[in-house]
Structure formats: structure tokens, C-alpha cells
Amino acid sequence: MIAEAGLALLWFAAALAVLQLFTSLMTLRGGDGSGEMGGIVRPAAIMQGPLVALSFAMLMWLFIRTDLSVLLVAANSHSAKPFIFKVAGTWGNHEGSMLLWVTVMALSGSFLALVERRLPERTMIATLAAQAFVSLGFYAFLLFSSNPFERLLTPVAEGNGLNPLLQDIGLAFHPPTLYVGYVGLSVAFSFAVGALITREVGPAFARAMRPWVLGSWIFLTIGITAGSYWAYYELGWGGWWFWDPVENASLMPWLAATALLHSASVLASRDALRTWTIMLGVVAFSMSMVGTFLVRSGILTSVHAFAVDPERGTFILALLTIYIGGALALFGARASTVSEGKRFSIVSREAGLVVNNVALTAILGIVLLGTLYPLLTEAFDTKVSVGPPYFNPVGAIFAFPMFVALAIGPLLRWRSDRFGRIGKRLILPAVVTVIVLGGALMFAPDIHILPLLGLGMAIGLGIASLVPLFGRNLLRTPLPTYGMVLGHFGLAVALFGMASESAFSTEKLVAANVGDRVDVGPWSIELTSMEPVAGPNWTALEATMTARYEDGSPVMLHPQSRTFTQPQQTTSESALSTRWNGQLYAVVGEEGADGRWQLRLWWKPFVPLVWLGGLLIALGGVLALIGRVAGDVRRGLQRRRIAMRRESKPLAAATTGPAE
Amino acid sequence: MTTALKPKHQRLVLVVLALVVLIGAALLAIWGLRGQASYFYVPSDLVASPPETGKAVRLGGMVQEGSIKTLPDGVTVTFDVGDGKVTVPVRYTGITPDLFVEGSGVVADGRLAADGVFVADTLLAKHDENYMPRELQDMTDAQAKAVVAETE
């Protein structure tokens, strides 16, 4: 009965989405948005969240009980799986992850309808209409082509199990985090459509949209960082970014969201870049749809791609076309009616943000083309793959100018400024950059150009990102400013990690007997023993390595070659030892015919900074979000207080009401 | 100077500027893709029209029965990849993927060396029905049968 109840809840929620769309469209046709129908829109949206969440809980329950009469559970779970992976297995498959997507979407719809009261009601109704339209597509997708609650006619004796690569704690958090990010962008998209329909593109729209963009951007940042770390230690290849299509699928929405975040802040504070912000809202959501399409249709293979299913691919492609085509058509029809924003000079913070936006969009285009190119050539029967030799240099051409703008931009004033005023504050970062470049060339003359520039830029940027705080009263600096500084500093930290990893990593690949010593970088590692070990649903050969950093105390490492029983598959579990200045990475391979073991060891200086930087960026976003939301709440309370005072003492309030 | 511009003109300047940069990005991307994309070869193609020595390409096919040999260093393997018609010798230094066995499909990223051996940087093996290198899917239907028939 659980499965049937879950399905019924889903149908009910879909019906409410129809109601939400219908009533909001009727209201929009009717006029000011205060009609009888208009009163139904918000409750219809609010109801959907709990309904779908309950449906998702039903599916999770089925997975926890390992109900093998349900097709999805039988295909993806196994009774002997550890509890946490039974729970995580709920969304470790196509249907479950789409249900998770819809759950997050419905919950954000509820939240949006519940709290957002600043925009004119008519714009809000239009926004909720767009939201309902987007949700309906996903409800249809779920109900017609990916029903997670489908029953088996005869229950099977045992499930198929979950792909061992995915039996990792990383899986438990990685996809949901990205989905929250994707869905947040769908809300931003709804706002953009709502603003276009009612021609209310202005600072109020940007302020209402900004927390959603910020929130989804934070989740995307965390998701990408976590995904990168997951690939790093789980795949055992020693790399942290492979330009794999699935990675690109998460990076593209992030790039668009980053651009949108910055242009929305121009719109919110300066009322400029109106049409551009709307355009980015459409692009950002398009990218999350493209990402979903690439991953879910299985049209591209990658380490993460699950099954190939042309029907689903076609369905998502149809959704993509409808949403994006529709939004672009609306944009084309309405863009010219969006009135001009405010002007700014060529040297101003707005101009800096324009550079940021254009560069991010260019990088986005480069990643998109590189990801789709193999598909394009395949239509002409030529199979190609595109990797780092394309993405790294071509992306860098736009990334480095953007970093320069990032160092300068935050120091400039809004509207108009002079370089002379801020020149002095940039001397320190510029000098340090030059010193680092020179130093790196002197000590590592055969360093490649990209890591070299990366190192120099990272240090300079790290200093420059803190300069906006110099000479300010730190106690009175607003939280969003701290957020910006921390986010930019995090980018510098991550960049330093990336550059250092690609410039200074050392690798050793050997076949060693038990008792042999191997040197890699400053480390000396001894293979102490090889032992069989067993886990709940796997057995493994575990190496014990005694590693010493220079003459330090020994560190024990335990990489494994692990064989899962259900489904049968071998994975290598890497072992890491982290120091303040880098990470030792050890993988054990097969035993050769002569009894020697294959060992692969890396010393990667400062590589943890890649993910630390990612987390700092996200933390910067969190600070900005808290600051913005607190500001909004404070202003809301103030407005209410003023309104109340005005009612009781009409005259006094008019003269003494606090200025906003 | 820009401050003297009318808003409409400023918008125009911005749009033109953005377009120029984005078109530049697209051109760069196309140029980069033409130069850097690595093409997929099956052994027959590789023999019929070999790529330039040292150019990054991918090679896909079936690992021939009895061809996997480990060199004395313990970490370098050599094997032959075939498609039922011809075979190409491959050399790979590293830990081989879990499902890399004789008779299974493999995709190797690498380059053709001057001595006619394909030097692989990475190997992707067919994992299971849910995940296998895309190029091999087309192959397993048509060509795998031939390979199997030949080895039997």
C-alpha cells in the first residue's frame, strides 16, 4: 500500500499544480491580481510541498524496508546493504533522483508562496504561474516516464544492489545538494518570467530574486566542491577535475548563477543591467536543465552516467525546448519594453561587474561548446572526446582577465570613479604577484604557463580580495561585504591549490614487495603488509603502509582493493594523509605473477586548498545570504511599524518616520 | 567620455561589447576544439589511416585473448586491441581498471608512438551494462560477435 499511497500523493500534487497554473493565468487575464481566483494560487502552491515530501518519504520507507515487490527497489537495492546506503539509495537512481528534484521544487514553491510578500501581488501571481508551469513538466515526466512506485507482478527474492562506486557517504549528500541548487535557479527563472510578464523589472524584483540565487549558488558551490573531492578519492585516479560531461553539467549552472548573482546585485543597488539580468535568469535555469538532460538522458557517458534511455532523454529535451524556447520568445517580445536602467561610467563598480559577467558568460559558452561538441560530431559519424587540453587554456583566456577585474572591481565606487583614487591600494597585490611570478620562474624554471600565472594571480588576488576591508571599521562593515571578501578570498585559495597541484605534484608508480621502500617527493613509504579484510557487503585486500614525511613520525595508510559481492565489482579505495602543506595519496593495484604489488603514490602540495577554497566561497555566500535576509526582515518589520504608527498617529509618523 | 552618452547609446555599446567578446569566445572555442579534440579510432581505422605520431587520440576495441603481458617493472602492461579485422599493440603504464581482462572491451586514451605501438595514458574498461565506454556500445553489437567468433 505504501507505494500506491506515494503515487496517489504525487498525482494529487500534480493536480494542485494544474489548479495553480489555471487560477494564476485567469487572475493575470482578469486584471490586478486581487480577484477571487487569485486567492487560490498561493494555497495551491503551499499545499504541494508537504504532499510531494510525503510521497518522497514513502519511497524512502520502501527502500529502508527493502520492499522487493517495487521495481525500483528491486533494481537498485539489496537487503544486505548498510542502512545509510539504503536511505541514500532512494535517490541513487534515475526515478528516485527525479522524485527528489520534484520534492525540492515543490518545497521551494511552498516556501516562495508562503513568505514572499514584497513584490506587487500581480507579479507574484505571474511568478507562481511560471513556477507551476515548470513544476507541471516535471510532474508529467515523473508520472508518465519515470514512475518510481511501479510494482513488480511477482516480487523477486533479492535486489540487484547499488553500484559500489556510489556506496559512499559522498553520494548521500552530493546529488541532493546539486538539486537544491538547480531548483533554486528554477525559482529565479520564475521570478524573471514573472517580472517580464508584468513588466516589473527593477530593484524590487532583483531584491526578491537575490536570496534564491544566492541560496542555490551556495548549494551548487558546495555540491561541485563535494563532487570534486568525491571523484578525487573515490575514483583513485588522483585528479580532482576531469572535465567530464557530468562535472561540466554542474559547473555550467554555477557559472551562470555566479554571473546572475553579480548582475542582480547591480540591479538591486543601482537599477542598471535590467534586461541582462533577466537574460541571465533564463540562461541559468536553461543550464540546469541542460545539465539534467545531459546526465539523465545518458546521452553522454561518463563516470557517473547510469542507464541510457532514449525515451526519457526525448522527454527532457522536449521540456527543455518548451521552457527555454518559451522564455526566449517571451524575452524577445518583452525585452524592448523593459525601460532603460541607470547609466554608469566606464570606470565604476558596475563596469567591473560587467567584465565579470561577460567573462563568466564566455567561459560558460566555452564549456558548453566543449561538452556538446562530441555530440555534434557524432551526428556526422565522427567520434571525438574533448578534455583538459581544450578546456584549460581556452577557459583561462577569459578566466585570468576576470581575476584582474575581480581584484580591482570591489575597490571602485558605484557609478563613476577614477583609477587614480584606488591605484595606491593595488600596489601591494601587484608587487607581490610580480615577485611570486619571478620566484616561481627562478625555482621551478620548467613550470607550465597556466600554473605559473595561477600561482601569481592566486597570491595577488588573495591580498587584493582583503583590500576592501582596509581602513574600514570592521565592526560596522555590513555582513554582505564580509561575504564578498570571503568569497573572493576563497576563489584565490582554490586557485592556489589548483595551480600548486598541477605545478608541483610528484607521482610514483612501482611494483613493490612487502617490506620495500618507495620515495615520493619528501615522503618515504614502506609497504608493511597486505592483509585480507571484510566489510558488510565486500571483501578487500588491504595494504598497510608506513609513511614518513622527511624525518617525521610514521603515519599509517590503508589503501584497499575492494571487491563488492552485490553487484560483483572491484573498486580501489585510496588512502590519504593530509598535512598543512599537501596530501599524500596512495592506491594499491593488483598482485603481479611474481608476488609484487602495484602501488601508485602521489605527493600533491597544497591540493586540499582546492576544496577549502570552494568551502570558503560557499561560506562567503552564506554570510551574504544571512546579511541580506536579515536586512530584508528588518526592513519588513520597520515598514510594518511605520504603517502601524501612521494608523494611530497619522501626523507624527509623517514627520518622524525613520528613513530606510 | 562615457558619461556623456545617452542611456540608449550606453546600452548599445554594452551590447556590442558583450557580443564581440562572446563571439570571440565562440571562435576561440571552435579553434580550440578543432585542434584539441581527440578522435576515436577502431584498430582498422588506426591501421588504414594512422594519426600523426604524438597526437592525442582514443583507441577502442576488444582486448585479444592471450595478449596481456606484464613487463619486468611490474607496472607496465602490453596487450593487443582488435576489432575482428586487425590488431594494434598497446602499452600502458599504471594500475589497470578492475574489469580489464582479456576478451573484454576497452577504450584507451593516448597516442601512437613512432614504433607503431599505441601508448595509453588512461584505460577505460567495460564496467557493466550500466556503464561502459560509449564507443564500445556500438562496437559490441556488430564487432564483438566477430571477435568472439574468431577467438573460438
The ipTM value here is 0.81
User: Inter-chain contact B3–A377, Cβ cutoff 8 Å?
Assistant: no
Give residue B151's pLDDT band: very low, low, confident or very high (50, 70, 90).
very low
Minimal CA–CA distance to A181: which of A83, A260, A288?
A288
Work out how many domains chain B is built from and give that number. Answer: 2
- Which residues make Cβ contacts (< 8 Å) with residue A291, sequence separation at least 6? A182, A249, A250, A252, A253
Residue A615 CA to residue A347 CA, distance in Å, equals 32
Report the pLDDT value the prediction gives residue A367, as an integer from 0 to 100.
Answer: 95
User: Inter-chain contact A354–B130, Cβ cutoff 8 Å?
Assistant: no
Cell of A467: 583590500
The Cα of A344 is separated from the nearest Cα of chain B by a number of Å equal to 7
Report the pLDDT value the prediction gives residue A658, as an integer from 0 to 100.
Answer: 46
pTM: 0.90
Kindly state whether residues B47 and B29 are assigned to the same domain.
no
Kindly state whether residues B62 and B107 are assigned to the same domain.
yes
Quickly list DSSP for A585-613: EEEEEEE-TTS-EEEEEEEEETTHHHHHH
Kindly state whether residues B18 and B75 are assigned to the same domain.
no
- Give Cα B20 distance to the centre of its chain: 33
Report the pLDDT value the prediction gives residue B7, as an integer from 0 to 100.
Answer: 61
Kindly state whether residues B105 and B63 are assigned to the same domain.
yes
CATH number at residue B112: 2.40.50.140
Alpha helices (H) along A271-309: 274-296
User: Which secondary-structure segment (H or E) carries A563?
Assistant: strand A560-564
Kindly state whether residues B32 and B52 are assigned to the same domain.
no
Give residue B137's pLDDT band: very low, low, confident or very high (50, 70, 90).
low
Task: Tell me the average pLDDT across B22-39.
Answer: 89
CA quadruple A186, A192, A195, A196: dihedral positive or negative? Answer: negative
Burial A634-645 (b: 16+ CB within 10 A, else e): eeeeeeeebeee
Residue A209 CA to residue A141 CA, distance in Å, equals 27
Q: Is the pLDDT reported for residue B146 higher than 60?
A: no
Give the pairing of strands B38-41 and A384-385. Answer: antiparallel
Which residues on adjacent β-strands are paired with residue A526? A517, A546
Report the pLDDT value the prediction gives residue B150, as an integer from 0 to 100.
Answer: 38
What residue ranges of chain A have pLDDT lower than 70? 31-35, 162-167, 170-171, 297-310, 566-567, 650-660
Task: Tell me the average pLDDT across B68-90.
Answer: 88
Cell of A556: 599509517
Report the pLDDT value the prediction gives residue B8, as an integer from 0 to 100.
Answer: 65
Kindly state whether residues B64 and B32 are assigned to the same domain.
no
- Chain A to chain B Cβ contacts (< 8 Å): 139
User: Inter-chain contact A589–B96, Cβ cutoff 8 Å?
Assistant: yes
Kindly state whether residues B6 and B63 are assigned to the same domain.
no
Report the pLDDT value the prediction gives residue B5, as an integer from 0 to 100.
Answer: 56
Kindly state whether residues B55 and B77 are assigned to the same domain.
yes
User: Inter-chain contact B29–A365, Cβ cutoff 8 Å?
Assistant: yes
Query: What's the domain range around B134?
Result: 39-151
Report the pLDDT value the prediction gives residue A422, as an integer from 0 to 100.
Answer: 84
Establish whether B127 is an annotated binding residue.
yes
Report the pLDDT value the prediction gives residue A594, as an integer from 0 to 100.
Answer: 83
Residues of B in contact with A511 (CB under 8 A): 73-75
Kindly state whether residues B43 and B22 are assigned to the same domain.
no
- Phi-psi category of residue A404: left, alpha or beta, with phi > 0 → left and psi -120 to 50 → alpha: alpha
Taking CA atoms, A84 is separated from A71, A92, A624, B136, in Å, by: 20, 12, 33, 34
Report the pLDDT value the prediction gives residue A304, as an integer from 0 to 100.
Answer: 40
User: Inter-chain contact B37–A374, Cβ cutoff 8 Å?
Assistant: yes
Residue A521 CA to residue A515 CA, distance in Å, equals 19
Query: Euclidean distance between the first and final Cα of chain B, in Å?
Result: 80
Residue A374 has phi, psi (to 5 degrees) of: -60, -35
Torsion of CA A32, A34, A36, A40, to 10 degrees: 110
Scanning every residue of chain B, which has its alpha carbon at the shortest distance from the alpha carbon of A309?
B130
Give, as one character, the DSSP assignment of residue B99. Answer: T
Scanning every residue of chain B, which has its alpha carbon at the shortest distance from the alpha carbon of A383?
B40
Kindly state whether residues B128 and B139 are assigned to the same domain.
yes
